[in-house]
Structure 1
Amino acid sequence: MTESRPHALFSFGTLMDERVQTALFGRPVPSSPASLAGYTTRPQPITDPAVIAASGLDVHLTLERRIGAAVEGVVLHLTDQDLAAADAYEVDDYARRRVLLSSGESVWAYLDAKPLRPAARIVIVGDSIAYGRCDPQGGWAAHLAAAHIAENEAAHRVFNLAIPGSTLTGVSEQTPPLLAPRLPDTLLVAAGINDSAVPLAATEAHVDGLAHIADNLGSLAAIAMRHNARLVVAGPTWVDEERTRDYEGLRFTEARALALRECMQAWCDENYVDYLDMWEPLRDKPELLVDGVHPTPEGHQTLYKHLDALSR
C-alpha cells in the first residue's frame, strides 16, 4: 500500500474554519501561521450549492497580485486524501498552483483559474510570433499589453522580451537576469515552434528540440518560482506546412507542431501549470498566416481575442 505524502496548502479563507475542515477531512487538520507577500484578496461569488452548504457563504475570497501587499493565513498540513478533498471543494473558478510564502517555503494555493485575470505585471518571453513579426502593430502581445494596461494604468505593466528565432532552450537561458528589474508576478512563455523544426538534410549537429521540452519548461518554472511569479505557457499555433519554406535549412511541419503541442500540454497538466491552447484560432485558416508560420495582422488579432477569452 502506497504511503500518503504530506502536502502544505496555504489558506486564507473558508478552509481555515475548523467546521469546514471537519466537513471535508473528517477532522480539524494541523496548521501553522503563514504570510503570502505580493498578494491581496478580492471577493469571488460562489454558485455551487455543496460549497455554499459546507462554508455557509456564497461569496469567498480569491487572490490577486499587488506589489507591497500581503495576505495572512495558515498552512494546512494535508494527506493525499485531504488534498483531493480540498480540490473537490474548490469550484472551477479556482486552480491549485504553487506559490512562495514570505518565509521562502513553496506551498500549494488556490488561485484564480483564469491565469491573467489576477495579474498585474506580466513578462512575455518567446519567439518571433510573440515578438509580433509581420504585424506593424506589435502582434497579439501588443494587443494584450494595451488592454491590460488600460485596466489599471498605475499598476499594470506588460514587458515583451520575445526574441525572433528563440527556442525554449534559448528562452530558459536568457530569461533569469531579465526578471528582477521588472518585478513580474506572471511569466508568460510563448515559444517552442522553433524547437519543432526539422532539418531538410541530415546533419549530426542538429539537436531535436522536442526531446528537451520538459527540461526547459521545468527550468522556466523554477525561474518563475524564484520571483513568486505564476508560470503561464502558451502553446503553438497552427502551421500550414504547404506554405512553409526553407528557413536556413529547417522546415516546419504540422505533425511536429502537434507533437510539440501535446508535449507542452502534458507537462503543464502533470506539473499544475497553466496551459493556454493557441492552436484552434488559426487552424485551417491559411489566409491568417503570412508564410505558413507567422500570423498576419488579422491573425494576431484573432490570437489575442482567443487568449483574452481563455485567460480573463
Structure 2
Amino acid sequence: MSVLVTGGAGYIGSHMVCLLIDGGEDVVVLDRLSTGFREAVAPAACFYEGDIADRGLLRTIFSKNAIETIIHFAGSITVPESIADPLSYYENNTVNSCVLIAAALEAKVPYFVFSSTAAVYGTPENAGPVAETAALHPESPYGTSKMMTEMILRDIAAAYDFTYTALRYFNVAGADPHGRTGQSTAGATHLIKVATEAALGKRNGVEVYGTDYPTPDGTCVRDYIHVTDLANAHLKALQRMRAGGRSIIANCGYGRGFSVLEVLDQVKAVSGVDFPVRKGGRRPGDPVSIVANPTVAMQELDWKPQYDDLSVIIRTALIWEDRLPTAPCVSDARRML
C-alpha cells in the first residue's frame, strides 16, 4: 500500500515525503510545481506533475498505485494574497480539495490527513492557548477556505467508510535537521524565513506589520512549530487511523507564543547579524495573538515534539537558507543538530 502526498514538492510536503520514506513507506507525490520544486522530492518517491483538480490524472494515479492514505498539503497559504484574490483561494483550497476527496471515495481510499490551519480560529475570544473546541472566526479567505474543507471532510466521514485527521497548523518554520530539505520558495512571507534572508544579506531588512496590537510589545504573537515535528504529527495521525482511530481534529503547536519582535531579536542573536527592522502599519487578516493548546495531538496522536526550541528552529532555518540555491533532498545528508 502507498501514501499519496499532494503538494509533496513544497516546503512541508517535502519534509513529509522524507519522513515517510525514512519509515519504509511507499510514497507517491502529486504536485503542480506552482510553488514547489521537483528536486525537493526525495528520489525514492514516485512523482506525478499535475493538479489535484485533474480528475483524469487522479484516476490514473489511483489505478496504478495502491493508495491507502492521502496526506493533503496542496493549497494556497498566504493571508494577504487571499484577501486580495479570495476566489482563487476558495477554488484551490476548497473546490479542488472537494475534487480530491471525491476521487478518494471513488477509489475507496480509507484514510485522509488534511493540512488545515490555526487561521480558522481568527483572534480567539479568550486569552490563553486555544483548543479545538473554540469558536471558529476566520479573518481571511485563507482561513475560511480551510474551514470549509474541514466541514466537507466531517460530512463525508459521517456518510461513508472514510476516516480523516485535520491538523490545524500554527506557524511552521525551520528545516530538516538532516539537511535534506527546507523552505525554498522565493518571495515567501513567513517571518522566520524572511528574517533569515535578512540575516544572510538576501534582503535589506524586515518590515513589521503593526506595532500597536494589545500585546506586551505591540506586535502579533504566534506559536512557532518546527516543520519536522509537524511532519511527525502527520505520521502519528496516519498510524492512529490504521490502528482504528476515529476521525479527529488536532492543533499542531507547542503551546507558547513569541511576538514578532521577540522572533526578530532571536534571529539576530542566533545569526550574530543586526539587520534593519522597519515598523509599518497593520496588515489585514492578521489575528492579534494565537497560541495552540496541543493536548489533543499529544494524547490522541501520542505526539512528542523533539524540536520545541525557538533557537533550534531558527538555526535549522539559517543553515538551510545559507545553502540555497543548492538542491534540496540531497542524498549525502549530514546531521545538523
- TM over 0.5, shorter chain: no
| Length-normalised TM-score, structure 2 | 0.38
| Length-normalised TM-score, structure 1 | 0.41
Larger strand share, 1 or 2: 1
Larger radius of gyration: 1
